[in-house]
């Protein structure tokens, strides 16, 4: 099931700057906002133009839409805007609503049914509690990078940015009916629980990465390369660098702005690799230190500038990174987690906070494709 020679060929044929977007949503009862297992029903009743953009995730109360391959970011955004409009219209017509936060505030993971595919059966049987516990919702961004070796080295250069991108995307302060005091509870229940997940090692070359995958196969650790769940990874089927660190965003504008930043960062990193710009891979323990800060405090916190030996505010790092990447920063001053924490501080209950978020999601993602 893992053909590494074919993966090399995919990367040789890949085109720099193609983009694919993936967004995961919770399927909810419109009255209670409880998660409901209606994925198959919604998928099977969708019109063909929408059905080809729907994919399943681990649980039946989750639905994902994908842009497919966009020739560039603008093309991917347009394709995703159309899929969003179709999905939200379809869901509303079937008496359901969708939630867009990294976790559901009060759902009991023990009550969630898993979808019935060979892949997810393997995940659940192989990981047990870790898989069952993972009721989370993400934004994934794929960026085309030509050449397998260059793709791996681009992933290496994206490693130090994982905490910043997580902080910018943080949108999950609640889980299991509790205010976790975290900005991204999703990261604790998925990224820190699954094997081969979170901050990867720096591999330095395709040869080293290939050797790692071959070891996993030969030792019966994996049977599919997608069982390597690193927060940034080469995706063998698409010839892309896939960024997987982010919580799903509460609004379409935030999702688009975050995707723009990610694409710009990956493209700049890939260009730096091609140009031979010097780069020193930070130790995983250093990146993990900043990752915890992102999980706990998000954009309200500060991060360690290991080169300067000082802390810097999250917003300063974000602005510096956007400037490095050549990207106009369109993210709001306060992200999803911060807005939810503002409501908590004002005395709102988790249900009131989530109801507000679901309404925000409906009004933005569900707008007409022509104006998205």
* Closest residue by Cα to residue 338 from 291, 300, 290, 301: 300
10 Å Cβ neighbour count for 283?
Answer: 12
Q: Say if CB 23 and CB 159 are below 8 A apart.
A: no
Residue-wise pLDDT tens digits, 126-165: 999 999 999 999 999 999 999 999 999 999 999 999 999 9
pLDDT of residue 366: 87
Could you read off the pLDDT of 280-334 as tens digits, one per residue?
A: 999 999 999 999 999 999 999 999 999 999 999 999 999 999 999 999 999 999 9
369 pLDDT exceeds 60?
no
Residue 119 has a pLDDT of 87
pLDDT at 205: 98
Q: Which CA distances in Å does 20 have to 90, 157, 342?
A: 22, 20, 33
For domain 4-366, which CATH number applies: 3.90.480.20, 3.40.718.10, 3.30.590.20, 3.40.50.2300?
A: 3.30.590.20
Per-residue pLDDT band for 116 (boundaries 50, 70, 90) equals confident
Whole-number pLDDT of residue 370: 35
CB 278 within 8 A of CB 302: no
Q: Return the pLDDT at 261.
A: 98
Round to whole Å and give the CA distance between 199 and 234.
Answer: 13
Please state, in angstroms and rounded to a whole number, the distance separating the CA atoms of residues 217 and 212.
9
| Residue 269: per-residue pLDDT | 98
Q: With contact defined as beta carbons under 8 Å apart, do 33 and 358 qualify?
A: yes
Q: What is the pLDDT of residues 200-258, one digit of tens each?
A: 999 999 999 999 999 999 999 999 999 999 999 999 999 999 999 999 999 999 999 99
Cα–Cα distance, 22 to 54 (Å, whole number): 10
pTM: 0.96
């Amino acid at each position: 099931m893992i053909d590494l020679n074919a993966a090399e060929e995919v990367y040789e044929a890949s085109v720099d700057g193609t983009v694919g977007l993936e967004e995961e949503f919770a399927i909810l009862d419109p009255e209670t906002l409880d998660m409901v297992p209606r994925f198959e029903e919604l998928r099977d009743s969708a019109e063909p133009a929408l059905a080809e953009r729907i994919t399943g995730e681990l649980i039946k109360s989750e639905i994902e839409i994908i842009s497919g391959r966009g020739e560039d970011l603008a093309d991917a955004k347009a394709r995703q805007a159309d899929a969003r409009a179709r999905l939200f219209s379809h869901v509303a017509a079937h008496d359901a609503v969708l939630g867009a936060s990294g976790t559901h505030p009060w759902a009991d993971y023990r009550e969630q049914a898993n979808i019935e595919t060979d892949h997810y059966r393997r995940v659940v049987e192989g990981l047990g509690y870790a898989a069952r516990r993972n009721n989370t919702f993400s934004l994934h961004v794929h960026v085309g990078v030509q050449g397998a070796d260059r793709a791996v080295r681009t992933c290496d250069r994206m490693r130090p940015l994982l905490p910043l991108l997580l902080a910018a995307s943080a949108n999950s302060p609640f889980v299991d009916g509790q205010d976790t005091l975290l900005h991204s509870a999703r990261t604790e229940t998925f990224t820190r629980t699954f094997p081969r997940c979170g901050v990867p090692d720096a591999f330095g070359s395709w040869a080293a990465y290939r050797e790692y995958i071959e070891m996993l196969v030969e030792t019966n650790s994996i049977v599919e390369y997608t069982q390597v769940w690193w927060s940034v990874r080469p995706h063998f089927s698409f010839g892309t660098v896939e960024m997987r660190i982010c919580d799903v965003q509460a609004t379409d504008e935030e999702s688009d702005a975050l995707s723009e930043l990610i694409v710009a960062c990956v493209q700049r990193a890939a260009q730096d690799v091609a140009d031979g710009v010097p780069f020193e891979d930070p130790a995983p323990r250093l990146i993990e230190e900043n990752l915890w800060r992102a999980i706990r405090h998000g954009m309200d916190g500060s991060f360690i500038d290991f080169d300067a030996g000082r802390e810097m505010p999250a917003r300063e790092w974000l602005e510096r990174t956007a400037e490095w990447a050549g990207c106009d920063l369109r993210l709001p001053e306060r992200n999803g987690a911060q807005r939810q924490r503002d409501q908590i501080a004002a005395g709102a209950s988790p249900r009131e906070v989530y109801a507000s978020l679901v309404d925000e999601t409906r009004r933005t993602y569900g707008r007409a494709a022509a104006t998205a």
